[in-house]
Chains A and B, each alone.
Chain A
Amino acid sequence: MLLAIFTISYIVTLVMQVFVPYLVRETIVFGVTVPEQNIKHPILGLMKKRYAQIVGISGVVLLVILLVINWIAKPSEITQGILLLSVLYGMLAVSLVLYWLNHQKITKLKKKEQWGINIKQVRAVDLTARSRDEILPWPFYVVPIGVTVFLMIFTVLHYEQIPNNVAVHWGPNGEADAWQEKSYFTAISLPLVMLMMQCMMWGIVDSVKRSAIRLSVNRQEESLEDQLKTRKYMSWHMMLISYALTVLLSVLQLSNIYPSLAEGGNLLPMFIVFLVLVLGSLLFYVWKKRQLRLSYVDNVVSEVMDVDEDRYWKGGLIYMNAQDPSVFVEKRFGVGWTMNLANPRAYIVIVLPFVILLLISIFSL
């Protein structure tokens, strides 16, 4: 079971890693801004192709090695766990090293050939864009919080009924594998975790809403559509995760009060549905991003380009721009969003709930 779940997640991750250069904006290649005027430089296409090939082949080789070892040596559960993780991290390490080499190469090439050096950099903003923003409004993210509060009250009212050992961890087969002695804190620790996660989802969506809608100056209409839809789908994805988590954790919590619920692997289908939903929603987002991606047939002839923000991106991966009021920006290499680490609000919205979450887990596990 563990192996099956792992293999599926591994393949999804691998496919994503392979296609990242073709999913991210074409104007940002391995984390380096390439002016649209140079976008069809032959080296860029070649580098992307090589990256995809090497990551793809080494990823498959690693998976085959894993499956063979697993088949021949039949390792114990702990060894198997270590093996799975090292294969996953091995694959990610290969893609990261390749990314880094390509990032350096393109940075050098850009400097050498002086890309964009005489092109005026402008930032285009559509004043009507905000009124067309389709991010789901906040009540969608507050409803699950209500469920959690209700669940906490319900738990306290049924405290007597809870068995002496409270399940706090569940294995991949859907059965509890770690328990804690019953107390009011351990009894409501699961709803507390839920609450923190729901707040985080809400905080993320709210921060994305306050973050910039960025147009591409030479492709204004298409880039606006991309931005608005990306924001919309992101908010749907977050809502789905928030609701799926709420259902999953509520059932787990109820199974603590009514242990018969969790007997005989009853919960397994729910874990699987949860996993499928989250992965499916992520793939939907990726697929939509691919559809919305601006494609270029040729180098653009224009006197302006978008503002080159390379100096705010450490290694092309970490964003730190103290002048930018946005908390979230879209990743430059990879699908999704990343934080502006120079914005203090980022720490309040994300890091604080995360720390609280960690503290709850440490004290209740």
Chain B
Amino acid sequence: MIIQIEPQSDVPIYEQVSRQIIEGIARGDMKPGDTLPSVRNLAADLCVNMHTVNKSYHELEAKGILTIRAKSGAIIRSVEERALTSEQLQQIEKNLKPLVAEGMVLGASVDQIELMMKKVFADLQMPVEGV
């Protein structure tokens, strides 16, 4: 799976890394049990400080998406292991709030936002081919 980082973007690099890994898992490009490159290697490939990658991995671990083991590295959790808890749901809702609010302020209707959600969901489930 390939991730693309924009060093000059306003979004911090660790966040770009986390987001793309999450999207990759959602899309099925990465499967439960897959191992991510070591912090050192990924930092070298991205041409960034090790702390940046470390931060991203630990963020993903805190979210319950990865397990970090001392020897074998960062492993993607299986679906059972990352069973959705109510706290996680609450967190997602909290993160969605500003975006939905922004939509509301700009005049988006409930239907429009719902449609948008469904579209994003469908996009991620669609297998990417020939890219």
A: which residues have CB within 8 A of B? 120-131, 210-215, 217, 220, 304, 307, 321, 323-326
Contact = CB atoms under 8 A, between A and B. Distances in A.
B124 interface: no
A344 B3 CA distance: 28
A304 B30 CA distance: 24
Contact of A130 (B5, B7, B8, B41): B41
13 contacts: A121-B7, A123-B47, A125-B3, A126-B2, A127-B36, A127-B42, A130-B45, A215-B2, A307-B47, A325-B47, A325-B48, A325-B49, A326-B44
Contacts of B68: none
Given A130-B37, A210-B41, A211-B44, A123 B49 contact: no
Contact of B4 (A122, A131, A213, A323): A122
Contact of A127 (B30, B47, B50): B30
A124 B3 CA distance: 6
Contacts of A211: 44
Overall SS of chain B's interface: mixed
Given A127-B2, A127-B37, A130-B38, A307 B44 contact: no
Interface string B83-122: 0000000000000000000000000000000000000000
B48 to A, nearest CB: 7
Given A122-B4, A210-B41, A326-B44, 15 more contacts: A122-B6, A123-B4, A123-B7, A123-B46, A125-B5, A125-B42, A127-B42, A129-B45, A210-B40, A210-B44, A211-B44, A212-B45, A212-B46, A307-B7, A307-B47
Given A127-B30, A127-B37, A130-B38, A325 B44 contact: yes
A127 B3 contact: yes
A325 B51 CA distance: 11
B2 A220 contact: yes
A173 to B, nearest CB: 46
Contacts of B30: 127
Contacts of A130: 37-38, 41, 45
Given A127-B30, A130-B37, A130-B38, A120 B45 contact: no
